[in-house]
Amino acid sequence: MKENYFFQTEGLSVGYHNKVLIRDISFGIKKGEILTLIGPNGSGKSTILKSITKQLSAIKGVVYLDKKNLYQLSSRETAKKLSVVLTERIKPEMMTCEEVVSSGRYPYTNQFGTLTKRDHKVVMEALEKVHAIELKDKEFTDISDGQRQRILLARAIAQEPEVIVLDEPTSFLDIKHKIELLSILSEMAKEKQITVIMSLHEIDLAPKISDRIMCVNGEVIERFGTPEEIFTEKIIRELYSMQEGSYNMLFGSVELKKPSGSPSVFVIAGGGYGIPIYRKLQKQGISFYTGILHDNDIDYQVASSLASEVFVEKAFMPIREELIKKGQIAIKNCEFVYEAGTPIGDFNRANLELLTYAKALGKIRNEKDALKVQRSKNN
C-alpha cells in the first residue's frame, strides 16, 4: 500500500455469486481528488462502486480508506468516513425530504437516534448546498426523479464524509442541475478535501471535473490516468466500440457520422462561422467540402469530422497558392457554394479568391434555398 494514497484498492476482483466480472483492480487516489469511471452500459461500473462501498462483497482483494482496511471497519465507522449515492430508487414511506436528509446524521446520533441542534444545522446546510431548501417539507415520494437525486446528494453531504461515492449522479437531471451538482462536488473536493468517486455517462463533462479517469469495459481495467491521457479519439472510440461518428478531444464532444457520397457543396468558412452549416448539412445527409481553414481554427475541429474533405493550411502560415487552386477545382465540381460570413483578414485572404471565383461561376447560394433544392433532389 502506497502511503500517499487516501483511497486505494489492491488486487480487487468483483462480480456476482462468486463469479468474477472484473479482476485485478488496483488504483489509488489522493485526498480531495475526483475519480470518474466511464464505459459502456453493463461494463461493470456499478459493480465496482458497490464493491468498494461494501454494498456488494468483493470476491478478492482489499480496499484501503485512510490506510485502514475498509472491510474490517464497522458499519458506523464506515458511515462516518464514506457516503454513498447509488442509482437504486429508494422509496421511504411517509418521510419528508428533510427527514431523508436527516438520516445521513444517524452515524453520529445516540442509541435513540436523537438529532442535536448541530445535526439540524448540518441538515439545513446540506439542503441549501444542493439548492433544495424549498423541498424540505415535501414527501420524498411526491417529488421528481431529479429532485430526489438532489435530496440524496444532500443526505450524503449531511454525513460529513471523507469519501463520497456516486453512481451516475447526473441521471434524471436537466443540464442546469447537472452543472450545479458537479460544481458542488468540485467545491467539496477542493475546499473540504473530500475524495469523490463516481460514474458518469456524460463524456463531455467527465474530463472537466475529474482528476483521474478509469475506463471500465472488459475483465481488467486497461486504462487509468488523467483526463488528458484518457480522452483521445482513439481511446474513446475503442472504449465504446464506436463504429460511426467521432470523438473530439478538444471540444469534449461527439460528432455523428459524416455524410457519404460525392460532395455537392463547398462551404467557405472559418472562425466558428461554418459549424452551424456543417451540422445542418450533416443532418440533411449532404456531403461537402470546406476551406480554406488553418488547423488551429475552431471550424476545423468539426469540419475534420463531418466534411468529405477539408482544405487546410498550417496554423499562422500564409495560404499556399496550390491550396487555392485545389479549392477552386472543388468549387467547379460542386453544385453550390455557401459563404459562412467569416470576416476576411490577412491570414485568410485567399478565401476571398475562392468567393470571387464561386461568384463568377454563379454558384453562391442562399443556404436555406440550396438545402431545399438538395432535399428535393435527394427525395
pLDDT score recorded for residue 146? 85
> Which of these, 248, 348, 352, lies nearest to 303 by C-alpha position?
248
pLDDT grade for 247, boundaries at 50, 70 and 90 = confident
pLDDT score recorded for residue 89? 60
Fold for 256-378, please state it: Rossmann fold (3.40.50)
What pLDDT, in 10s, does the model give residues 93-124? 789 999 999 999 988 887 767 889 999 999 99
In this structure, are residues 372 and 280 in contact, taking their beta carbons and an 8 Å threshold?
A: no
SS3 128: helix
Burial of 323 (0-12, 13-18, 19+ CB in 10 A): middle
When the pLDDT of each residue in the chain is averaged and rounded to a whole number, the result is 90
pLDDT score recorded for residue 373? 46
Q: Which of 158-162, 257-261, 363-367 has the largest mean confidence?
A: 158-162
pLDDT score recorded for residue 376? 47
Residue 248 in this model has a pLDDT that exceeds 80: no
pLDDT score recorded for residue 253? 75
Residue 220 in this model has a pLDDT that exceeds 60: yes
pLDDT grade for 4, boundaries at 50, 70 and 90 = confident
pLDDT score recorded for residue 23? 95
| Per-domain residue ranges of the chain | 7-243, 256-378
pLDDT grade for 3, boundaries at 50, 70 and 90 = low
What pLDDT, in 10s, does the model give residues 314-371? 999 999 999 999 999 999 999 999 999 999 988 899 999 999 999 999 999 865 555 5
Helix (H), strand (E) at residue 212: strand 212-215
Distance CA 265, CA 258 (A): 14
**Two domains, one topology: 7-243 and 256-378:** yes
CATH assignment, 7-243: 3.40.50.300
pLDDT score recorded for residue 368? 57
Distance CA 222, CA 22 (A): 11
What pLDDT, in 10s, does the model give residues 165-197? 999 999 888 888 899 899 999 999 999 999 999
For residue 96, list its beta bridge partners: 139
Distance CA 81, CA 164 (A): 9
